[in-house]
Structure 1
Amino acid sequence: MSGGHSTYTPSTGIEKWIDARLPLPRLVYDSFIAYPVPRNLNYAYTFGGILAIMLVSQILTGVVLAMHYASATSLAFDSVEKIMRDVNSGWLLRYMHANGASMFFVAVYIHIFRGLYYGSYKAPRELLWILGVIIYLLMMATAFMGYVLPWGQMSFWGATVITGFFTAFPIIGDPIQQLLLGGFAVDNPTLNRFFSLHYLLPFMIAGVVVLHVWALHVTGQTNPTGIEVKSKTDTVPFTPYATVKDGFAMVLFFILFAYFIFYMPNYLGHPDNYIPADSLKTPAHIVPEWYFLPFYAMLRAITFNIGPIDSKLGGVLTMFGSIAILFLVPWLDTSKVRSAVYRPWYKLFFWLFVADAILLGWLGSRPAEGVYVVMAQMATLYYFVFFLVIMPVLGLIETPKRLPNSITEAVLAKSKGGAVPAGATAAPETKG
């Protein structure tokens, strides 16, 4: 899917002149028009395009907001209110940017779960998956630093708590925290650092996204069957087939996005952030944004010492480990079958994992006391067991269903409402 001679033919003199010097139209044509994609892609595969549009939206709204924002502790809160009240369409820009971050994470979580379900991380797509995890890490850093900028109560205390995590590390912890803060406490240097990084990181994300798309076009798109493309009949041109499907999914997604912007713009935020930051008044419950809550629950789940590791350091290591483990997924899954469609036991454990992640998110919003702590500990345990035990062991002992011989065969069998023909191979593919 990644190779092949270009079929682009310049139709005008200007196109011929440009193509001979900088073949950008040819690149666009080959990548987004004639590029072959599996003919059985479903709507779970549309979130890559949605994420690209959301990234552009976040960058554009962020650049305009930065023109009116003042990164000083004495001015930041008032500058945000000025944007809301005095800047033309400032309220819309701010709500688009704030809710856009949440929509960005909604789309990326669905994108990640889709990858885990259909085995999109398996060879030869390991680097594609790793680049995706790097994008996710950059998104988390960008979102955290952006949450500090309004300089409300939750912004200030969230920054205080999160940067305090690094003090759990012996020797290097305090210097790292002081480097982030620009001093010994969250103050004006901290705000300046976070504003600078919040402005820079989205452009770094865009650069890694280019590499991500490049890697995708080299290895080719996966599909719900997990079977590699074997002939031209297994594919269709990206345009119009994939573009129409992507466009329809984007319309539905942006209807949801618009609903939050116009009808419940503050639903996903915290009311305490409309109170100016005050270092002398601690909020009753300090909680991060909803997309960080599963990791926050894991952090607080470690209430006991593990040998020489105290509970604070254990919680921080668990939280960072829950993200770091994603880099190892291509090698933890030992099954030769990609798609969970043909793996009944993996499918069961996968949906339990999805429920577990949602439960962790809910527990992250609860007080760290009583039964909530016990539930968080059990949910955290399953999170790591899924990757470190279930994935490796299940791939060795699970008996998968029969695989179709080709994507076309699977599509035809599905369109007829029947099972895969009896002649389909029972042997799983060994290629990635």
Structure 2
Amino acid sequence: MTGSSSSDRENDGSKQDWLDSRLPVRRFLTTQFRSFPMPRSANMLWTVGAMLSAVLVLMLLSGLVLAMNYTPTVAGAFASIEAIERRVPSGWLLRSMHMAGASLFLGALYLHLFRGLYYGSYKKPRELVWLLGLLLLVMTMITAFAGYVLPWGQMSYWGADIAGKALASIPVIGPFTERVFLDGSQPGDGTLHHLFVLHFTLAFAIVAVVGLHVAGVHVAGSGNPSGVESDRKGSLPFSPYFAIKDALGVAVFAIVLTAVMFLFPDLVTESANYRPANPLHTPTNIEPEWYFLPFFGMLQAIPFKFGGLMASVGAVAVLFLVPWLDTSPVRSARQRPLIRLSMILLVASFVVLGLAGQHHMKGIWLIIGRCATVFYFFHFLVVLPFVSRRERAVVESAS
């Protein structure tokens, strides 16, 4: 028995060596994941990436089933969604999972972005990791908007209509851009077809960019809360230490997702969208999902449409410039009191903009929303460069 078991192990080992010499998957996984060095000080914010990866897989699998039963036409879209929920086995569960997953995915993505800003994860040598992460944010936002329109309920239709009017405000090319987006003068079959293809295609493109993003992290190495580049002596292998942390983070995320799906579905759904689209009846309060509300607030804060569009687009575009706006040798906001204070105010302004967008910039909310918009750009265009110059001067004088 002992002889046969040892020979079996030898055979298994020789098979693995044969496969690994031709397709080194096991060697790659061992080097890049199991033995990958992680900083000892990495906190639970470093598990958000694992949460995002897990929910992305969930979104892809549920989305594939939904796409197989969806009809991207004005006459059939809403009816196909009802059929999915009532006739497809566990269709209601898959759709609820897809909607709640999309909402929580954007929430986790914002948290991941905050971690990068707070701990200076965009600085050399991780500029490309930062830019790929922002590309993922843009792609996810476009995918989420397309998915919001596809059910063709009341809010879906009017959301597409508002997006078309915002594009029409662009000088010179605006009317042409609106016609291309809507495939006509108003939302219709062409709009649904365009957005369905975009939603489906971008979902798989996101997976490819995630692969590049992870590869960039493994080349540049993981940052840490202190902002000091650590050597291998100050690190631990990813498995088992951080694999357990990631598993815990994914488990907590799964519990939150389940709670939202079964106990608080109103957080990710709107009652108006359970009615078929009606171009002749404008809803009283047209507003996007919560994760777009801050940008919707910026859109309304500027008194003319094109200015509002530039502000909402610029709010994302300015993030791509952060590695060159913040040139300080100090990375983490833990060692930067002014940046830490400004980051707190930045988060507050982002939340306030969401609340102002929800209240449609009426009364005092208009003033508050405009102040929050000004501070949002003030943080990136004034505070970061000013503090960077000051800190560089201090470091240079000390050396």
| Structure 1, unpaired ranges of 5+ | 1-9, 304-310, 402-425
The AA in structure 2 aligned to 1:178 is R
* Cα distance in 1 for residues equivalent to 2:317 and 2:279: 33
Q: Tell me which residue corresponds to 2:247.
A: 247
Matches within 5 A, 1:119-158: 119-158=120-159
Question: Partner residue of 1:423?
Answer: none
Q: Contact 2:72/2:192 (CA < 8 Å) preserved in 1?
A: yes
Change in 2 beyond 3 A, CA 1:32/1:427: farther
Deviations 1:156-175 (A, max 9, x none): 00001012211111221111
Distance 2:398 2:98 in 1: 44
Q: SS at the partner of 2:228?
A: coil
The 1:429/1:184 distance shift into structure 2, 3 A limit, reads farther
- Say which is worse superposed, 67-76 or 112-121, in terms of deviation: 67-76
Q: Aligned pairs, how many?
A: 389
Conserved in 1, the CA contact under 8 Å of 2:122 and 2:322? yes
1:12 counterpart residue number: 13
Match of 2:211 in 1: 210
| Deviation (angstroms), 1:107 | 0.6
Counterpart of 2:96 in structure 1 is 95
- 1:292-314 per-residue CA deviation (whole Å, 9 max, x = no partner) reads 000010110001xxxxxxx2111
Answering whether residue 348 of structure 2 is matched by residue 355 of structure 1, we say yes
Partners in 2 of 1:213 and 1:255 — Cα distance? 25
Q: Distance in 2 between matches of 1:168 and 1:108?
A: 29
User: Any conservation in 2 of the 1:353–1:383 contact (CA below 8 Å)?
Assistant: yes
SS in 2 for 1:50: helix
Deviation at 1:268, TM superposition (A): 2.1
Query: How does 1:178-327 map onto structure 2 within 5 Å?
Result: 178-230=179-231, 232-303=232-303, 311-327=304-320
The answer as to whether partners of 2:45 and 2:115 remain within 8 angstroms in 1 is yes
Q: State the SS of the aligned residue for 2:265.
A: coil
More displaced stretch, 357-366 vs 382-391: 357-366
TM-score by length of 2: 0.94
The answer on whether the counterparts of 1:342 and 1:400 sit within 8 Å (CA) in structure 2 is no
Q: What residue number does 1:34 align with? A: 35
Uncovered stretches (5+) of structure 2, i.e. residues with no partner? 1-10
Q: Which of 356, 369, 381 is matched with 2:374 structurally? A: 381
Secondary structure of 1:12 counterpart: helix
Partner Cα separation in structure 2 for residue 315 and residue 428 of structure 1: 43
TM-score (normalizing by structure 1): 0.87
* Alignment partner of 1:333 is 2:326: yes
Tell me what 1:113 maps to. Answer: 114
Once residues 370 and 171 of structure 2 are traced to their aligned partners in structure 1, the CA distance between those partners, rounded to angstroms, is 25
1:372 corresponds to: 365
Task: Return the offset for 1:334.
Answer: 2.7
More helix by share: 2
Cα 1:394–1:181 change in 2 (3 A) is same
Q: CA RMSD in A?
A: 1.9
Aligned counterparts of 2:276 and 2:175: Cα–Cα separation in 1: 27
Q: Which runs of 4+ in 1 moved over 3 A?
A: 398-401, 426-430
| CA–CA separation in structure 2 for the residues paired with 1:381 and 1:128 | 28
User: Aligned-pair distance for 1:25?
Assistant: 1.6
Contact map agreement 1:343 1:400 (CA 8 A) in 2: no
Q: Cα distance, 1:267 vs. partner?
A: 2.2
Contact 2:152 2:276 in 1 (8 A): yes
Is the CA contact (8 Å cut-off) linking 2:328 and 2:392 kept in structure 1?
A: no
Q: CA deviation at 1:136?
A: 0.2
**How far apart are the structure 2 equivalents of 1:49 and 1:148?**
28
2:105 — aligned with what? Answer: 104
Partner of 1:76: 77
Structure 2 residue matching 1:236: 3-state secondary structure: strand
Deviation digits for residues 307-354 of structure 1, max 9, x if unmatched? xxxx21111111111110010001111321001111112111111111
Offset at 1:399? 9.4
CA contact (8 A) 2:330 2:391 kept: no
Q: CA deviation at 1:429?
A: 12
Q: Distance in 2 between matches of 1:11 and 1:53?
A: 31
* AA of the residue aligned to 1:140: M
8 Å CA contact 1:336–1:428 kept in 2: the answer is no
